[in-house]
C-alpha cells in the first residue's frame, strides 16, 4: 500500500476502523494483524476500496477489481492525476471520491483535499473515513487538485528538507550533529504549533514578530 496508503492504514487501525485487507503482490512493512493478499479474493464484495498505487500503473493494478464491486461500494483514489471520469469508466455505478492526503495523516495531523461528483451520501462516507487522519477540505473544482498536490501533498517533504538543511547548517558551524538536529526539529515543531494556536495572526505577522 506504499507510503501514503501505509500512513492512512496505521491511523485507521489506531482508530479501530476495519477490517482491512491489503492487495499487493509484494506487501511489506505492514502493521501487525493486517491481512495481505497478492490479488483480490475470489468471493465477497468490499464496502470500501482505497486505490493507493502509483498513477503510472493504476490501470493494470486495479483491472482485477473491475466488475467485482457492489452497487454500494465506495471507491476512494489517492492517486495523483487520475480523474473521477477515468475511475468511473472502470467502476460504473460506484461512488467515487478523489482524495489528496499527506503523510502527517499517520499521526492524525494530515490535510486531505477531497472531491466527488456523486452526492451527499458518498461525501459523508468519505468524510467519516478521513476525519480521523486530520483536517479535510472539499474542492468544488477537480482541476484544483494539481495545485493542492503541490501545496499539501508534497509540502511535508519541503518541511523535512528544511529541517535537514537547518541541522546541517548548525553542524557546519560547529554544533554536534545530534544537537543541531534537535534544535532544528523542535524549532519547526514549535513554530507550527504556534501557527496552529494563534490562528488569528497571519503567517506574515508571526514572521515579523
Question: Using one digit for the tens of pLDDT, what is the confidence trace for 106-139?
Answer: 899 999 999 999 999 999 999 999 999 999 999 9
Question: Low-confidence residues of the chain, pLDDT below 50?
Answer: none
Domain boundary (113, 133, 153) is at 153
- Domain enclosing residue 193, as ranges: 156-208
The whole-number pLDDT of residue 39 equals 86
Residues 140 and 201 in one domain: no
- pTM attached to this predicted model: 0.89
Q: Are residues 58 and 132 in the same domain?
A: yes
Within this chain, do residues 110 and 163 fall inside the same structural domain, yes or no? no
pLDDT (0 to 100) of residue 166 = 98
Q: How far apart are CA 123 and CA 179, in angstroms?
A: 46
For residue 145, the model assigns a pLDDT of: 95
39 and 134: one domain?
yes
What confidence score (pLDDT) does residue 19 get? 86
DSSP code per residue over 60-125: HHHGGGTT---TT-EEEE--TT--HHHHHHHSTTSEEEEEE--GGGGGT-EEEEEEESSHHHHHHH
Amino acid at each position: 500500500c506504499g507510503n501514503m496508503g501505509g500512513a492512512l492504514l496505521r491511523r485507521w487501525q489506531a482508530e479501530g476502523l476495519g477490517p482491512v485487507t491489503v492487495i499487493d503482490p509484494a506487501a511489506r512493512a505492514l502493521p501487525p494483524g493486517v491481512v495481505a493478499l497478492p490479488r483480490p479474493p475470489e468471493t465477497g464484495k468490499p464496502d470500501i476500496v482505497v486505490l493507493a498505487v502509483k498513477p503510472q500503473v493504476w490501470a493494470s493494478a486495479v483491472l482485477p477489481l473491475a466488475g467485482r464491486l457492489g452497487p454500494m461500494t465506495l471507491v476512494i483514489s489517492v492517486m495523483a492525476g487520475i480523474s473521477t471520469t477515468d475511475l468511473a469508466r472502470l467502476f460504473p455505478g460506484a461512488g467515487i471520491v478523489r482524495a489528496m492526503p499527506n503523510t502527517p495523516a499517520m499521526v492524525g495531523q494530515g490535510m486531505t483535499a477531497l472531491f466527488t461528483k456523486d452526492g451527499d451520501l458518498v461525501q459523508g462516507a468519505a468524510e467519516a473515513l478521513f476525519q480521523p487522519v486530520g483536517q479535510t477540505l472539499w474542492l468544488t473544482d477537480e482541476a484544483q487538485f494539481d495545485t493542492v498536490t503541490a501545496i499539501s501533498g508534497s509540502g511535508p517533504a519541503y518541511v523535512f528538507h528544511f529541517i535537514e538543511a537547518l541541522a546541517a547548517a548548525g553542524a557546519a558551524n560547529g554544533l554536534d550533529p545530534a544537537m543541531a538536529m534537535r534544535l532544528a526539529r523542535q524549532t519547526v515543531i514549535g513554530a507550527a504549533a504556534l501557527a496552529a494556536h494563534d490562528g488569528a495572526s497571519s503567517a506574515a505577522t508571526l514572521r515579523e514578530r
